[in-house]
Amino acid sequence: MAYVDITADTFNDTVKQDGIVILDFWAPWCGPCKSFGPVFEAASEQHADVVFGKINTEEEQELAGHFGIRSIPTLIALRDGIMVFNQAGAMMAPQFEQLIQAVKGLDMDQVRAEIAEHEAGSAS
């Protein structure tokens, strides 16, 4: 198993690290979550350079609330501690692979510059 189960106690240590972290917010009773689970697990086996974390929304309601999770599964991707993707809904394996490659291909200097520009514009 190449993914980690994330709890409120382990969340900060997991997402604050450099690199890519992909979070799967799910619940045991959720049908789409069950069908996406094997896709997520297979990707976690193929991409050792990415941290894959599963967050059980039933057990970690505070984390789900913090992210405003309203439907599951919800995928959130972070790179270098910056959220770069947030979307509800299960993905097929090719879509998920495309997402992973897109996050890997991001120019983080450009992302940081865009965030700084947006924050500067909001401040005025």
**What is the rounded average pLDDT of the residues 91-119?**
94
**What is the rounded average pLDDT of the residues 36-45?**
95
pTM of the model: 0.91
Is residue 30 annotated as part of the catalytic site, yes or no?
yes
**What is the rounded average pLDDT of the residues 100-107?**
96
The domains located in the chain, with CATH, are 4-123 (3.40.30.10)
- Residue 124 pLDDT: 59
d(CA 93, CA 35): 11
Is residue 33 annotated as part of the catalytic site, yes or no?
yes
Please state, for a pLDDT cut of 90, what percent of the chain lies above it: 81
Whole-number Cα distances in Å, 115 to 20, 24, 38, 40? 18, 24, 34, 29
User: What is the per-residue pLDDT across 8-28, written as a single tens digit (0 to 9) for each?
Assistant: 999 988 888 789 999 999 999
Q: Exactly one of 6, 21, 23, 33 is catalytic; name it.
A: 33
